[in-house]
Amino acid sequence: MKRFGSIILAAVLGSAITLGTYKLLENKQENPVTVTHISGTPVVDAAYTVNHNGDIVPLDFTDVAKRVMPAVVHIKSTLIQHADGGHYRGYPEPDRDYENDLFKFFFDFPFRFEGPSPQQRGPQTRVGTGSGVIISEDGYIVTNNHVIDKADDIEVTLEDNRVYKAKVIGTDPSTDLALLQIKEKHLPNIPLASSDEVEVGEWVLAVGNPFNLNSTVTAGIVSAKGRNINILQSKSAIESFIQTDAAINPGNSGGALVNLQGGLVGINTAIASPTGAYAGYGFAVPSNIVSKVVNDLMKYGRVQRGYLGLMIRNVDGNLAKEEDLDVTEGVYVDSIAANSAAGEAGIRVGDVITAVGEIPVKTSSKLLEIIGRHYPGDQVTLNVDRNGKQMEFSVTLRNMNGKEKITERNTEDILDILGVELKEIDGKSARKLDIAGGVQVTRLMNGKLKRYTGIKEGFIITRVDGKEVTTIDAFVKALENKHGGVLLEGVYEDYPGTYYYALGL
């Protein structure tokens, strides 16, 4: 006891001497440094936190993980290379240097070979894997477009190991999203939360199938919002990614980014990495963009998006100095397209867009995200700084063709859905082939013909469901109100006989 008492006395004396010395030094300094000690902050034993609504939410991730894991699926995409030696009909693009890209898609790429070696004749298959998210109990699944792009076969495996073939409902390369459906009911699903309410610093979970490790959950925070990393190749690309430091790797692509309430706030799409493996930065398509794309694909078969008709870039300090601007944040109008909705509403080159209605915009990616959620015909209010003067303009958005209405299924839509460019053959060619006429496939792109048939460029379509077609208009008219199976009949210039190809619309 005496020894214990001595220890306590020494501790007290030591503290007194330390405090006395600190006070003495403080009195000798003219501007002493104030050290503030924060007490009462839970660290080691923290189990709950308070969100921006004042709700107490758990930092124990077990409950939310249990809720969301059954709704995240494994996707296997199979692509076929035929013996003609052409490129594989899918990712990657043959002319793009993926090895040196800092930002990378992260489905399981490169594809592995299955079947005969490349030296053997006959079809060969390549297989890539990724993830998807069930968003409704009747089997609708959201994933990335690059996970299933041009795939000949798509197989979905649920967490309980049930396996299904998936149908592509629609794709949107401009946001790298795709909507699939499997034939099943009463499936677990993840509800969509508003990505507008997600805040930097908020906890999120990434759920997917990295390296074929099914149902993997990682945790991190939202590192940033509205990121544009220039990874999408579509000319009308919308990139306003949520950035997170939750660990994601090859195979996570198309998986879920969820908040602690189990709501879907994003679809994991890309990583920033010099090696192709996780390096601390991942990017997800915000759920509000996902919701718009999904609704459009279900209702119209394609995304209906409003456009301002402007060429824009971010305002920064250098641009502000160069153009003598009065603001250093916002979106600078570089040029105005012909038939521009914003141009006709009064927007000029040199204007700086600072807000859309009540929503501030500091970057072009944020502006594109907000406008991209609207439809042709919608009215938006642009807040603009023009030479230091604040102005407002009401703009009625248009589609890419300059129309202020939802696009009905027409010639362009049908050909876009099929992924084909056509030309009408002349009378001389028709007589040589002993046919009345037809339309020739001059180019195949991503669409139903490439995805579901073996049609090749050069094929001349002479009949649709037994009905003769000799013009592009006649071909489109035969398909514009068609639902279900379609049979195309025709010939090749250099091959004998008649060929038939079936597909579904």
**Range scoring the smallest mean pLDDT among 120-124, 132-136, 220-224, 275-279:** 120-124
May I ask the CATH class of domain 52-303? mainly beta
DSSP type of residue 212: G
User: Between 477 and 391, where is the model more confident?
Assistant: 391
| pLDDT for 184 | 96
**Range scoring the smallest mean pLDDT among 29-33, 87-91, 279-283:** 87-91
Residue 448 reports pLDDT greater than 90: no
Q: Do 464 and 475 form a contact (C-beta atoms < 8 A)?
A: yes
Q: Do 225 and 200 form a contact (C-beta atoms < 8 A)?
A: yes
The 10s digit of each residue's pLDDT in 158-168 is 999 999 999 98
Give the confidence band of 123 by pLDDT, cuts at 50, 70, 90.
low
What percent of the chain is modeled with pLDDT above 70? 78
| pLDDT for 42 | 43
**Range scoring the smallest mean pLDDT among 36-40, 298-302, 312-316:** 36-40
Sign of torsion, CA 354 364 251 445? Answer: positive
Positions marked active-site: 146, 176, 253
Q: What share of the chain is helix, strand, coil (3-state, %, to 5)?
A: 20, 35, 45
Q: Do 240 and 174 form a contact (C-beta atoms < 8 A)?
A: no
User: Between 51 and 250, where is the model more confident?
Assistant: 250
The fold for domain 411-504 equals Pdz3 Domain (2.30.42)
Residue 23 reports pLDDT greater than 60: no
| pLDDT for 460 | 96
Give the confidence band of 92 by pLDDT, cuts at 50, 70, 90.
very low
* Domain 52-303 and domain 310-396 have a common topology: no
The 10s digit of each residue's pLDDT in 336-356 is 988 899 999 999 999 999 999
Write out the DSSP string of 328-397. Answer: SSSEEEEEE-TT-HHHHHT--TT-EEEEETTEE--SHHHHHHHHHTS-TT-EEEEEEEETTEEEEEEEE-
Residue 133 reports pLDDT greater than 80: yes
**Range scoring the smallest mean pLDDT among 112-126, 234-248, 256-270:** 112-126
| pLDDT for 212 | 79
All structural domains of the chain with their residue ranges: 1-36, 52-303, 310-396, 411-504
User: Between 212 and 206, where is the model more confident?
Assistant: 206
Give the confidence band of 60 by pLDDT, cuts at 50, 70, 90.
confident
Residue 137 reports pLDDT greater than 80: yes
Rounded Cα–Cα distance for residues 375 and 232 (Å): 22
| pLDDT for 99 | 39
Domain covering 310-396: architecture? Roll (2.30)
Residue 301 reports pLDDT greater than 70: yes
| pLDDT for 94 | 34
Rounded Cα–Cα distance for residues 52 and 55 (Å): 7
- Stretch 361-370: mean pLDDT: 94
| pLDDT for 10 | 45
Give the confidence band of 112 by pLDDT, cuts at 50, 70, 90.
very low
| pLDDT for 107 | 52
| pLDDT for 481 | 73
| pLDDT for 103 | 59
